[in-house]
Amino acid sequence: MAINYVKYQKIDMKNHPELNEKWVQEIVAKEPAIIGLGDLILKDKERIQPHAGRLDILLQDENATRRFEVEIQLGKTDESHIIRTIEYWDIERKRFPQYEHCAVIIAEDITSRFLNVISLFNGSIPLIAIQMNAVKIRDDISLIFTKILDQLSLGLVDDDEEISEVADKNYWEQRGTKQTVAMADEILELIKTISPGFEFKYNKYYIGLANNGQINNFAIFRPQKNNILRFELRIPRTNEIEEKIENAGLDILDYDTRWNRYRIRIKKDEIEKKNDILLELIKIAYNNSM
């Protein structure tokens, strides 16, 4: 079957006689996933801010732990738009501190000048910049959203080995059990099939990993007292990954949105029985860390 190529025409929404921010806002509100930040839920739009105008869109993740304050602008980013976005983010995080908050700027043209300015905030202010393009295909119009600047991922405190509190194997055998530490050893052997240079780095709060002396905590371990090993893998959350874990019968505690980790409870007899799925997940986490 032949595949037909359809030429599209890029549209300047800023100067378009019919398209406007309200139109874009309605599209995003109806289908929040279109902006590429995952499976989000519309919490509010045109949200009144005390003494500060209206927030275009407020989105929330499906676990109700994280909120995104979204501002939309046609044309180029400008100073007032950046300031307004950060101001609304700051108001919302102070009003509702029980959630994590992230500011999102959506604009047709995120210039290099303002991208540099935005980059200065990233790290102290969780901020995402998304470029939006409108394209016409025959008589229809579509929107394409491209993430230009992502929120800076925060590392675990213990990733900084100079300030981490050092422990050893005996410490974890006392905090967990010899059996659960031995379970971690079994999984380490799986990791070594990917790269034989991996070894444990024992810290006070978890057992991490180093590869030929270089810290790489794509997976961490927390041996428990109840003959359970808590195994955490740094993998972006997707429905496909969750289906793999659930279909394998592994026990997911939850997904840690702050550190982007799947937290899995493993029993001793599961390591050998579920060797294949564990190795598959390990490879995904390892490749994602490279």
Q: Specify the CATH number for the domain of residue 90.
A: 3.40.1350.10
- Closest by alpha carbon to 47, among 65, 30, 63, 59? 59
Name residues whose C-beta falls within 8 Å of residue 215's C-beta, 6 or more positions apart in sequence. 159, 161, 201, 208, 209
In a domain, 3, yes or no: no
In a domain, 273, yes or no: yes
pLDDT bracket for residue 159 (50, 70, 90): very low
In a domain, 198, yes or no: yes
Answer yes or no: do 121 and 35 share one domain. yes
The answer to whether 27 and 143 are in contact (CB under 8 A) is yes
The model's pTM: 0.54
In a domain, 121, yes or no: yes
Answer yes or no: do 94 and 163 share one domain. no
**What pLDDT is recorded for position 184?**
95
In a domain, 18, yes or no: yes
CATH number of the domain encompassing residue 272: 3.90.1150.200
Q: Is the dihedral of CA 181, 186, 191, 193 positive or negative?
A: positive
Range of the domain at 122: 9-149
Residue 202 has pLDDT above 80, yes or no: yes
Answer yes or no: do 277 and 182 share one domain. yes
Each residue's pLDDT tens digit, 91-141: 998 888 878 899 999 998 887 777 777 767 656 788 888 999 999 888 888
Looking at 132, 149, 166, the residue that finishes a domain is: 149
Answer yes or no: do 163 and 218 share one domain. yes
Answer yes or no: do 115 and 21 share one domain. yes
Dist. CA 55–CA 107, nearest whole Å: 15
In a domain, 1, yes or no: no
**What pLDDT is recorded for position 252?**
84
- Closest by alpha carbon to 69, among 106, 101, 25, 21? 101
Q: Distance of alpha carbon 48 from its chain centroid, rounded?
A: 28
235 or 99: which leads in pLDDT: 235
Answer yes or no: do 89 and 193 share one domain. no
Residue 26 has pLDDT above 50, yes or no: yes
In a domain, 27, yes or no: yes
Answer yes or no: do 110 and 48 share one domain. yes
The answer to whether 221 and 207 are in contact (CB under 8 A) is yes
Looking at 149, 177, 211, the residue that finishes a domain is: 149
pLDDT bracket for residue 152 (50, 70, 90): low
**What pLDDT is recorded for position 191?**
95
| Average of per-residue pLDDT across 4-15 | 84
Answer yes or no: do 228 and 109 share one domain. no
Answer yes or no: do 64 and 192 share one domain. no
Helix/strand/coil for 161: coil
In a domain, 221, yes or no: yes
Looking at 129, 149, 169, the residue that finishes a domain is: 149
pLDDT bracket for residue 145 (50, 70, 90): very high
**What pLDDT is recorded for position 165?**
58
* Burial label, 99 (beta-carbon count in 10 A; 0-12, 13-18, 19+): middle
**What pLDDT is recorded for position 82?**
85
- Closest by alpha carbon to 231, among 268, 184, 165? 184
Answer yes or no: do 145 and 14 share one domain. yes
Render 240-268 in DSSP notation, one character per residue: HHHHHHHHTT-EEEEEETTTTEEEEEEEH
What's the total number of domains in the chain? 2
Answer yes or no: do 50 and 181 share one domain. no
Answer yes or no: do 120 and 173 share one domain. no
For all residues of the chain together, what is the average pLDDT? 86
**What pLDDT is recorded for position 123?**
61
